[in-house]
Amino acid sequence: MNTLNHFDTPQLELLHRGKVRDSYRAPSGERLIVVTDRLSAFDSVLETPVAHKGAVLNGLAAFWFEKTRHIIPNHVISLLDPNVTLAKEAEPIRVEMVVRNYLTGSMWRGYQQGQRSFSGVTVPDGLTKHQKFPEPIVTPTTKEESDREITPENLVAEGWVSAELYEQMRVKSLELFNFASQWMAERGIILVDTKYEFGLLDGKLILIDEIHTPDSSRFWSAEDYARNPEAAEQMDKEYVRQWLIANKQDGQYPRALTPEVSAEATRRYLDIYERITGAPLRTSDEAAGGDVRARLVNNLVQAGIMKEA
């Protein structure tokens, strides 16, 4: 199956190559974000790309950016290709706003070891795995080489944000989370937790990066959770993480996926896309002979971003 593992072109200035996204400077001065099929887990990028993953992430983010414009403006100008977004250039705020509604993941692991305060939020004793909080909580982290939990007070004291800006981010994060939670609940999906990233454009707060995707969020099946909360299966890339854990050897995770695991990961990404949006992802690349990169280049040429080679 054709995949987009890397996208390189001498025609455009590379601004940043992340684990999954590559950013370029568009001729107009805006940012061109190419979402690849790379998959990162446990702080490393796997050698095996997952077909259609980039289009799922890009398409879902676009879906949510459009749905939440009434809550906060965002950086999206247009989608030029299933894997490419043209975005406004904003000044990023180096803080991740993590919103949690259930005790799971790294928070549960810390809780088991006796931790009760998370980024300044204190939770009581006696909670169980996957237990829902009375209301969503915000546990910010810094965006550094290794992200770290930090209290809102320390974010301000260390100069990451002003108190006023942090409060804007906190309020908007909760509005976004509550809006998406209700939307997904109506479709049998639980939004467990997620992260939001913000930037400043002309001094105004806007939403950037991605929103409510399987890479930035945890999803559970509501039916699964009702049946057995502690065994609820995640509808995101946790499937791949668990396979890596099960196949760890000599303290090392596998660097590549088997064809079967890669195909199942693709199926899951496509499934969550359709469940959330109500329509299947359009994955046909027939216009480019099934070649994702050829289709992408053709669309960028049509948009005036690149010249024909």
The pLDDT tens digits of the residues spanning 282-292 come to 865 554 557 89
pLDDT at 297: 95
Q: What is the sign of the dihedral through the CA atoms of 156, 160, 162 and 167?
A: negative
Which pTM does this prediction carry? Answer: 0.93
Structure confidence by residue, pLDDT tens digits, 244-255 = 999 999 999 999
Range 110-134 average pLDDT:
97
pLDDT at 214: 92
pLDDT at 289: 58
Range 211-235 average pLDDT:
93
pLDDT at 285: 54
Q: Does pLDDT of 3 surpass 90? A: yes
Mean residue pLDDT across the chain? 94
pLDDT at 43: 80
Q: Could you count the other beta carbons within 10 Å of the beta carbon of residue 202?
A: 8
What is the C-alpha to C-alpha distance for residues 56 and 213, in angstroms, rounded to an integer? 8
What is the C-alpha to C-alpha distance for residues 267 and 284, in angstroms, rounded to an integer? 15
Q: Does pLDDT of 61 surpass 80? A: yes
> Residue 236 — very low, low, confident or very high, per pLDDT cuts 50/70/90?
confident
Range 54-72 average pLDDT:
98
pLDDT at 160: 97
Domains of the chain: 13-90+259-302 (3.30.200.20), 91-231 (3.30.470.20)
